[in-house]
Each structure stands twice: as structure tokens, then as C-alpha cells.
Amino acid sequence: MPAVAVKIIYKAANALPSYATDGSSGMDVRAHLSEPLTLAPLERKLIPTGLFVEIPQGYEIQVRPRSGLALKQGLTCLNSPGTIDADYRGEIGVILINLSGQEQTIQPGDRIAQLVLQEVARVEWITAVSLSDTTRSEGGFGHTGIQ
């Protein structure tokens, strides 16, 4: 798949967000902090990244947790996946929460989340009085019986 050009202003001294491997879907993004920041258990904070982007129309960037950070330190992203819309021009921030039972410290330059560029389809609503029937029909949560 060809790369999509995204304009970026980067006000941090860290490396630009990048893919860790050729098969990575997300680019690691780093904390833009002047000093370490400690999160108490269940505390959440908006962590700056120093990133400002111009996403092409028809795309979004999703902010997703890093699995290693969640497993090893109990730190994850709230509002996940977070959406950065194509018309947003402010600094990208990551809402981190500490779900561990101990204080967790984020160092300047730590990898705190990953960014995934996604194409976005727009909806054109068609008002109707009925919908087509399916085997599942109105069955919701847990209705498929798969355990």
C-alpha cells in the first residue's frame, strides 16, 4: 500500500513518530515532557506530544494504547481509540491512565501510544420504515451464543 503524505510540525526533541517494524500498523509516539511525570493509581493526565499534523481529507489518525506499556506498567489510553480529525490543527495529546496499583512515572521521550492512519468513509443516511431481515435480527449483546 502506498504511503499517504501527512504534513507535520514537530516541536519536540524526540524522534518523529515511526514504525518499529516493516509490519507495524501503528507509529510509536513519545511524551513531550520537560521533566518526569508521575501518575498515581487511577490517575489520568493529558500527555503532550509536540505533534501538530495536517491530515488529508477522508482520513483520521487513531491514538491507540501500546500493549507493552499496558502489560508492564498498567498504563493505557482512555478514549481509545482516540480520533484526530482531518480538520484538527492543535497539538496531539494522549490521555493516559494508570490502572496499576502503584505510581507510574513517564519519562520525557517515553513511547506512550501509537498512531494509526485510517481512511474514513462518510455516511449518507437513507430514512426507511423497515430494515432487511437477518438470522440475528434484533439479538444484541451475547445473542450469537458464542462463548
Which domains can be identified in the chain, with CATH numbers? 25-119 (2.70.40.10)
Quote the radius of gyration of the chain (alpha carbons, Å). 19
Q: How far is CA 63 from the centre of its chain?
A: 1
Return the residue matching grid coordinates 507495524.
24
One pLDDT digit (tens) per residue for the chain, 147 residues: 689 999 999 998 888 999 999 999 999 999 999 999 999 999 999 999 999 999 999 999 999 999 999 999 999 999 999 999 999 999 999 999 999 999 999 999 999 999 999 999 999 999 999 989 887 777 666 666 665
Q: Is 74 exposed, middle or buried (0-12, 13-18, 19+ CB in 10 A)?
A: middle
91: left (phi > 0), else alpha (psi -120 to 50), else beta?
beta
For residue 112, the tally of other CB atoms under 10 A from its CB is 23
Reduced to 3 DSSP states, what percent helix, strand and coil does the chain have, rounded to the nearest 5?
5, 35, 60
Q: How far apart are CA 96 and CA 100, in angstroms?
A: 12
Confidence at residue 59, expressed as pLDDT on a 0 to 100 scale: 97
